[in-house]
């Protein structure tokens, strides 16, 4: 299912976000605080905006080279983005953020797991 990015328009306008759709989804999935985003795209959005006023909250994520992901809530729905990094012209860049199946709605599910520890 393709996520309609139009629903994030008010948030995007409040931030005066200057990047493309890929950059915006990446920023939402990383909580607008990813060092790579800040290093590569300085001053891409306004800081100091209370994102919760627009229904946005960063929930969780992991940012590493092999596999990265981020979850945020927006107006009582949860969204997850998956991406990987690749090296392009001697610089790291993210990719697949809006590829098929890489940005989608999710729901929290609690599961119990067993971990075996040494005694």
CB 97 within 8 A of CB 90: no
Instruction: Supply the Cα-derived Rg of the chain in whole angstroms.
Output: 16
Tell me the pLDDT tens digit for each residue of 52-88: 999 999 999 987 767 888 999 999 999 999 887 665 5
State the average pLDDT for the chain: 81
End-to-end Cα distance, the chain: 47
Predicted TM-score (pTM) of the model is: 0.78
| pLDDT for the residue numbered 39 | 46
Q: Which two tokens stand for residue 34?
A: 């990813």
CA–CA distance, 20 with 23 (Å, rounded to integer): 5
**pLDDT greater at residue 95 or residue 22:** 22
Least confident of 5-9, 61-65, 71-75, 113-117: 61-65
């Amino acid at each position: 299912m393709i996520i309609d990015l139009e629903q994030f328009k008010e948030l995007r306008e409040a931030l005066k976000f200057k990047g493309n759709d890929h950059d915006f989804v990446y920023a939402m999935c990383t909580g607008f605080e990813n060092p790579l985003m800040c290093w590569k795209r300085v001053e891409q959005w306004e800081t100091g905006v209370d994102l919760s006023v627009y229904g946005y909250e960063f929930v969780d994520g992991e940012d590493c080279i092999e596999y990265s992901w981020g979850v945020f809530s927006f107006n009582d729905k949860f969204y997850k983005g998956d991406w990987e990094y690749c090296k392009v012209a001697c610089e790291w860049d993210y990719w697949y953020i809006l590829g098929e199946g890489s940005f989608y709605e999710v729901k929290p599910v609690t599961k119990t797991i067993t971990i075996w520890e040494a005694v």
